[in-house]
Amino acid sequence: MPYYLRGGSSGSLTSLNDGVLSPEPPGAGEGSVTYAYPNDEWTVGVVARSKDGMDPIRRVLTFATPPLEAEVEVTGPIVLELYASSDQTDTDFIVRLADQSPQGEQERTAGTQPASVNVTKGWLKASHREKDEARSTAHRPFHTHANPQPLTPGEVYKFEIEVHPASYVFKAGHRIRLEVVNGDSTFTDGNFSHLYLWYKQGSDTIHHDAAYPSRILLPVVPRP
**Cα–Cα nearest to 207, from 157, 160, 168, 162:** 157
Mean of the pLDDT values across residues 125-145? 95
Q: How confident is the model at residue 44 (pLDDT cuts 50, 70, 90)?
A: very high
**Average pLDDT over every residue of 34-47:** 96
Render pLDDT for 83-92 as a digit per residue (tens, 0 to 9).
999 999 999 9
- pLDDT attached to residue 138: 87
Q: Name, in order, each residue with C-beta under 8 angstroms of 198's C-beta and a sequence gap of 6 or more.
A: none
Sign of the Cα pseudo-torsion (77, 218, 223, 57, in order): positive
Sequence-separated (6 or more) residues with CB below 8 Å from residue 2: 23, 25, 215, 216, 217, 218
pTM (2 decimals)? 0.96
CB of 119 within 8 A of CB of 72? no
Give all domains of the chain, ordered by start, each with its CATH number: 2-218 (2.60.120.260)
Mean pLDDT for the chain overall: 96
Inform me whether the pLDDT recorded for 223 exceeds 90. Answer: no
Q: Exposed (0-12), middle (13-18) or buried (19+): which is 29, by Cβ within 10 Å? A: exposed
Q: How far apart are CA 11 and CA 87, in angstroms?
A: 29
Q: Which of 79, 61, 14, 7 is nearest to 179 (CA)?
A: 61
Q: Give dist(CA 57, CA 51) in Å, integer.
A: 13
Contact 7, 29 (CB under 8 A): no
Q: What is the C-alpha to C-alpha distance for residues 199 and 150, in angstroms, rounded to an integer?
A: 15
- 51 pLDDT higher than 90: no
Check whether 37 has a pLDDT greater than 90: yes
d(CA 123, CA 197): 16
